[in-house]
Amino acid sequence: MDNKLKGDLAELIVEHMFRASGIKVFPLGVERRNQNFFEYYMKRKEDTNRKLKFNNGVARAISIPDFVIEDLDGNFELIEVKFRGQIKSEDDLVNFHKDVEESVNFWKCTIILVTNPYPPDNYFTVLRYEEEFCSRQTIPGQKLWGIKREVFTECENLVKCIYT
């Protein structure tokens, strides 16, 4: 299975986890809103082997987080979902932070990292960035957003089936 498909599936699983728990989800990401432009832009980027520059409005549009959610308490939050199959250590997690740093600093979004279990038995890691600090939590350990335990278990089992 290619990484684009894995990423799309991770996004759908997280969206389902929110919706099935009664959390409102409003899709934002350019991949969902304008698929043709996104595919064209990514192809051009690959052809020219250029790194996205975040002082460019188009690059910022490409990096729009996947959703806005409204939790059960009426709080709104920007959410970006990422899949990484190779997070196996703290060093891998540090490298992941570097990969997403520009986008996160601009959008001030929360990242839900879907991965092969790291730490063991943890398929969903929530990374919240506040100024220079990143806090890390797991779902549902902190009862994040009011995600229902049975919905979480269903989604975790789905991730296990797909990615391991």
CA distance 48 to 125: 33
Instruction: Give the pLDDT confidence score for residue 105 in this predicted structure.
Output: 79
Instruction: Give the pLDDT confidence score for residue 128 in this predicted structure.
Output: 81
Instruction: Give the pLDDT confidence score for residue 52 in this predicted structure.
Output: 56
Q: Where are the domains of the chain?
A: 3-28+65-163
Instruction: Give the pLDDT confidence score for residue 50 in this predicted structure.
Output: 63
Short-list 64, 63, 72, CA closest to 18: 72
Cβ–Cβ < 8 Å for 17, 152: yes
Each residue's pLDDT, cut to its tens digit, for the chain (164 residues) gives: 777 788 889 999 999 999 999 999 999 987 777 777 777 777 776 766 666 555 567 777 778 899 999 988 899 999 999 998 878 888 888 888 888 887 787 888 888 888 877 666 788 888 887 665 567 776 665 567 889 989 999 999 999 888 77
Instruction: Give the pLDDT confidence score for residue 64 in this predicted structure.
Output: 86
The sign of the CA dihedral 64, 8, 124, 23 is positive
Amino acid found at 95: N
Cβ–Cβ < 8 Å for 6, 81: no
Q: Is the pTM of this model over 0.85?
A: no
Instruction: Give the pLDDT confidence score for residue 55 in this predicted structure.
Output: 57
Name the fold adopted by 3-28+65-163: Trna Endonuclease; Chain: A, domain 1 (3.40.1350)
Instruction: Give the pLDDT confidence score for residue 108 in this predicted structure.
Output: 86
**Which two structure tokens, joined as six digits, stand for 49?**
């082997």
